[in-house]
Amino acid sequence: MAENAILIIIYLLGSVSFILGLKMLSHPESARRGNLVAATGMTLAILGTIFLYINPDTGEHLHNFLWIVGGIIIGSIVGTISARKVQMTAMPQMVSLFNGMGGACAAIISVIEYNHRFAPGSFGMNGTILAGLLIGSVSFSGSMIAFGKLNGNVKDFSLPYHSVFNLILLAVLICLGVYLSVTDTPNMVALGIMALLCLGYGVFFVMPIGGADMPVVISLLNSFTGVAAACAGFIYGNQVMLTGGILVGSAGTILTLLMTKAMNRSLLNVIVGNFGGGGNAATGEGSTTQGTIKEISLNDAAVLLSYSKKVYIVPGYGLAVAQAQHVCHDLEKTLEEKGVDVEYAIHPVAGRMPGHMNVLLAEADVSYDKLKEMEPANEEMPSTDVVLVIGANDVVNPAAKNNPSSPIYGMPIIEVDKAQNVIVMKRSMAAGYAGIENELFYEPKTRMLFGDAKKSLQNLVTEIKQV
Amino acid sequence: MDSILSFISVYHEMIFIIILSIFLGIEVISHVPSVLHTPLMSGANAIHGVVIVGSIIVMGEAAPDNYFALTLGFIAVILGTLNVVGGFVVTDRMLELFNNKKKKK
């Protein structure tokens, strides 16, 4: 009795710590403490479950401690090492991978509990178990595909009529789920088939979605896993799993919507839109771009930058890939020493995830108040002498404003075309992540500096020091 | 219809928790600056790792000769731990960068 009461208190503390943790995570000053608060609550909940959990029907404690502790030790070691070692640029993949693990965990629980707790007639409980299986598996296989796409292992691929195909598959899955929950005896073969189809659905769900939309997909799958965890919590009547899962489910959904809003797209559009995929929408028919590209020499660029008053740097994922954030900070310092005012304009979806670019620049010691969000930066564009675009493409593409047939039409952009001069540092003329031509490169005031971002920046810093 | 009603009356407490948590989740993060989207997503990712509690229960209740449940449960415990530990460590690494910034100023 006492043990049960203590466990309930622990679960209550756990739930409160999750709420406080999420709350603190949404303010810059308290974010890190918030993460620790949630982690502490999680540790309490895990330890409490291991030692205090009593089965309400049999009154027995848990056993198989060796297996449980062994699994936790293996998971902790592998998890800590991989999370410590991962490059900051590969962060989105890593989040996707860990998310998939949680989804798989929820799906496995459902498989075992279907075998264990199936009760003929209790449609609601059977249905919850199967919902956990469906959502967990979709989250797992979807996250794996998202991971592969961000890592560059998986190419965009879409079946003809993929949205119709996916709808039919989903309908089949729901029918199968209904059958499995109203049937009289648990049918493990049908459950196995359902599990496989669910995994397949996750693959087909994410496959046609273009790489540029991966952040939205990861965030969506993140909230899916939350719901799957809540389903598992429902099975056990476990409060901490319920609150934790549902909190993430709803907070994750809101976060997903905030992201789609930053890209000025609807969630439906992301899911069925086939944006940036192998489809025909990718090129954008109106982009019959004409004109010539002008290159700029390192020397000229150095002179232009040194004699400017106000310079804005617009970093993109290219900067991160080239690991050039530190050199970029050097450039900023060198220019500041010459009396140039340097700031960064960060697009909400620069990099691979919202806020990703801020993390990368923070890693390179760039001062927090030099990072300007898109709107204040846009106001200052007309009074800016030079904009240096480093490895960014779609977020500065004017087609988003003036070409209604472009797939990114309507997305807010950093209006670099309003500045006096634009220097674009780019590896090649290849299109950006969304696969769209960029008219900016053909504008009269734009000049291109081709080459690896890191090398070009290093050379640029040396040149500027000599001016 | 009867089964739905009895479902609601049996599980009314959990249904309450679910509905209230939905609103709480929306309320808690609705004013987050875009700078923190990535760490917040990562932190939320770690929190849904609470599903590990379920895998511990599955594992702890499995009969010693039920190798089906033991094997799958063991895998589930490992996966759940990966989600929790990896998620919190990655989030901490991201936020550490923001904090260092503050101290130096």
What pLDDT does A58 receive?
85
What pLDDT does A46 receive?
96
Region B16-31 average pLDDT: 90
Q: What percent of chain A has pLDDT over 90?
A: 41
Pick the CATH number of A298-466 from 3.40.50.150, 3.40.50.1220, 3.30.56.10, 3.40.50.300: 3.40.50.1220
Region A254-270 average pLDDT: 79
pLDDT tens track for A121-168: 788 899 999 999 999 999 999 999 999 988 878 877 777 777 788 889
pLDDT tens track for A302-321: 888 988 999 999 998 778 77
Q: Which of A156, A213, A394, A417 is catalytic?
A: A394
Burial class (CB in 10 A: 0-12, 13-18, 19+), A196: exposed
What pLDDT does A12 receive?
96
Angle between helices A123-151 and B2-10 (to 10 degrees): 80
What lies within 8 Å, CB to CB, of A22 at 6+ separation is A34, A38, A247, A251, B25, B28, B29, B40, B43, B44, B47
- φ, ψ of residue B34 to 5 degrees: the values are -65, -25
pLDDT tier at A113, thresholds 50, 70, 90: very high
The verdict on a CB contact (< 8 Å) between A46 and B101 is no
From A355's Cα to the closest Cα of chain B, the distance in A is: 4
What pLDDT does A129 receive?
95
Beta strand pairing call for A421-426 and A446-450 = parallel
The verdict on a CB contact (< 8 Å) between B85 and A46 is no
3-state per-residue secondary structure call for chain A: CHHHHHHHHHHHHHHHHHHHHHHHHCCCCCHHHHHHHHHHHHHHHHHHHHHHCECCCCCCECCCHHHHHHHHHHHHHHHHHHHHHCCHHHHHHHHHHHHHHHHHHHHHHHHHHHHHHCCCCCHHHHHHHHHHHHHHHHHHHHHHHHHHHHHCCCCCCCCCCHHHHHHHHHHHHHHHHHHHHHCCCCCHHHHHHHHHHHHHHHHHHHCCCCHHHHHHHHHHHHHHHHHHHHHHHHHHCCHHHHHHHHHHHHHHHHHHHHHHHHCCCCHHHHHHCCCCCCCHHHCCCCCCCCCCCCECCHHHHHHHHHCCCEEEEEECHHHHHCCCHHHHHHHHHHHHHCCCEEEEEECCCCCCCCCHHHHHHHHCCCCHHHEEEHHHHHHHHHHCCEEEEECCCHHHCCHHHHCCCCCCCCCCCCCHHHCCEEEEEECCCCCCCCCCCCHHHHCCCEEEEECCHHHHHHHHHHHHHHC
* Structural domain spans, chain B: 1-31, 33-104
Region A347-358 average pLDDT: 75
Instruction: State both tokens at A349.
Output: 């979806």
Q: Which residue has the higher pLDDT, A22 or A259?
A: A22
The verdict on a CB contact (< 8 Å) between A49 and B53 is yes
pLDDT tier at A431, thresholds 50, 70, 90: low
From A363's Cα to the closest Cα of chain B, the distance in A is: 6
- φ, ψ of residue A448 to 5 degrees: the values are -105, 145
In B, which residues are within 8 Å of A235 by CB distance? 54
The verdict on a CB contact (< 8 Å) between A356 and B105 is no
Q: Cα-Cα-Cα-Cα dihedral of A422, A425, A429, A434, to 10°?
A: -90
pLDDT tens track for A372-420: 888 888 888 999 999 999 888 878 888 888 877 777 777 788 888 888 8
Among chain B residues, the shortest Cα distance to A63 is held by B60
From B66's Cα to the closest Cα of chain A, the distance in A is: 11
Instruction: State both tokens at A41.
Output: 């609550």
Region A422-442 average pLDDT: 76
pLDDT tier at A367, thresholds 50, 70, 90: confident
The verdict on a CB contact (< 8 Å) between B42 and A91 is yes
Is residue A190 scored above 90 in pLDDT?
A: yes
Is residue A419 within 8 Å of residue A385, measured between CB atoms? yes
Q: Which of B51, B65, B102 to mutate to test binding with chain A, by most A CBs within 10 Å of its CB?
A: B51
The verdict on a CB contact (< 8 Å) between A26 and B29 is yes
d(CA A351, CA A325): 12
CA angle A108, A111, A114 (to 5 degrees): 145
What pLDDT does A433 receive?
60
pLDDT tier at A435, thresholds 50, 70, 90: low
Is residue A351 scored above 80 in pLDDT?
A: no
d(CA A70, CA B74): 9
Among chain A residues, the shortest Cα distance to B50 is held by A241
Q: Which residue has the higher pLDDT, A355 or A294?
A: A294
Among chain B residues, the shortest Cα distance to A42 is held by B50
Burial class (CB in 10 A: 0-12, 13-18, 19+), B14: middle
What pLDDT does A326 receive?
87
From A282's Cα to the closest Cα of chain B, the distance in A is: 27
Is residue B76 scored above 80 in pLDDT?
A: yes
The verdict on a CB contact (< 8 Å) between A354 and B34 is yes
From B16's Cα to the closest Cα of chain A, the distance in A is: 11
pLDDT tens track for B6-23: 888 889 999 999 999 999
What pLDDT does A280 receive?
36
Region A351-363 average pLDDT: 77
Region A106-131 average pLDDT: 91
The verdict on a CB contact (< 8 Å) between A108 and B52 is no
d(CA A251, CA A272): 23
Of A164-178, A227-241, A268-282, the range with the lowest mean pLDDT is A268-282
Residue A372, CA distances (Å) to A121, A160, A356, B64 in order: 59, 42, 14, 59
Is residue A282 scored above 50 in pLDDT?
A: no
Q: Let me know if A330 is a catalytic residue.
A: no
pLDDT tier at B99, thresholds 50, 70, 90: low
Of A48-57, A185-194, A215-224, B95-104, the range with the lowest mean pLDDT is B95-104
Region A243-250 average pLDDT: 95
Is residue A278 scored above 50 in pLDDT?
A: no
Is residue A29 scored above 90 in pLDDT?
A: no
In B, which residues are within 8 Å of A353 by CB distance? 37-38, 41
In A, which residues are within 8 Å of B69 by CB distance? 112, 115-116
Nearest to A209 by CA among A264, A253, A270: A270
What pLDDT does A432 receive?
62
Residue range(s) of every CATH 3.40.50.1220 domain in chain A: 298-466
What pLDDT does A276 receive?
41
